[in-house]
Amino acid sequence: MIKQLPLGSQGFVTSEQGLGMMSIGITMGNRDLYGKKNNVSKKGVAELISRSIAAGITHFDTAQIYTNLSGMMIGSWFPLANSSEKRMKLGLSENVGKWQVATKVMNSGSKQSVKNACYRSLRDMGINCIDLYYLHRIDPKTPIEVIMEAMLELIDEGKIKYVGLSEASPSTIRRAHSVCPITCVQMEWSLYSRELEDEIVPLCAELGIGIVAYSPMGRGLLADTSLQFDNLSRMDFRKMGGVEYASKEGERDLARGLEKLAENKGVPLSVLSLAWVHKKGRDSLNGAGVVPIPGTGNPNHMEQNSTAVELSYKLTDKDMREIEKCVPRESMAGLSRYGGALGERVFTLEENITLQEWDKRNQ
């Protein structure tokens, strides 16, 4: 049974597992960034949302940049452009009062751009208020304090309830939290991505900030041992997106070793790797809460993933040591999770201009 639990310490309550909606937003035809076919029609997404709610998953995580190829190349105005927010509209309207919606703004260079993006998201999803509104990435040229003022204004207007950050450094999290209380931060967290455990996790435990864990199964690599990097499409994000752990020598051996452990426990590899994130977060965050958001556009996969919550409560400390022995933290240490421009906007490299520097430049 998936419970509704507090995330962070600002009053937000949501399901202890969510659903990432990138697979029904960033699409080429009916295929997602990992080559999986999904029913991305409005009715197909509505079924996904309804079945998720029936499984106990009420937290739906999307973003304004989750748009199809036409929208990316030509613009959102183009008639064939579509986004996850627009595709979710029917499913949200059919389940009013049963969900919590989180979305993210990428263009966060000014207060007005953050607010205008919020109004657009509300219109596209056909809702009156966003439960959780994130900065998708931190703009290095605008002080985080300024953008947090925009968030406070949106709260006062009744357009959003709670605020989050994604891929923010510890110093930026502290600065933001001092202006507008942060409910949670969204970070990649899986057996293949653990660098946040050094500073981000202790900081969140200290400040009562929850963590929403994206890519909790290592972008699908910890769900399917049949995948082979050389056989992936050149458009597969694990290849074209610069995900270094996907091409690391010996990576498939790690996944197969963990799969053997999963088989011994009578569960799929995906469920065991996801359950690890749940327990790791609960054990590390001092009650601040963790919500993994495995992404899929397939209702059957969503339902299988949902069983990880129950398993996570059965895992012992010995089980956790066995899992981490199969996939040692050092095996993926120091590898880039993104290439190109996105690779420069991760929390380990993020540097936000101070108010003092900004004031000097604008005098």
Give yes or no for a contact between 352 and 140, defined as CB atoms under 8 angstroms apart. yes
**SS3 assignment, position 226:** coil
Q: State the catalytic residue, choosing from 34, 66, 134, 245.
A: 66
Neighbours of 184 (CB within 10 A): 28
Cβ neighbors of 318 (< 8 A, separation 6 or more) are none
- Tokens representing 277 are 């994130």
**Alpha-helix residue ranges (DSSP H) falling in 9-129:** 42-54, 69-73, 84-93, 111-125
Residue 15 burial (CB < 10 Å; 0-12/13-18/19+)? buried
Distance CA 361, CA 113 (A): 20
Q: Catalytic annotation on 66?
A: yes
- Tokens representing 149 are 């003022």
**Residues designated as active site:** 66
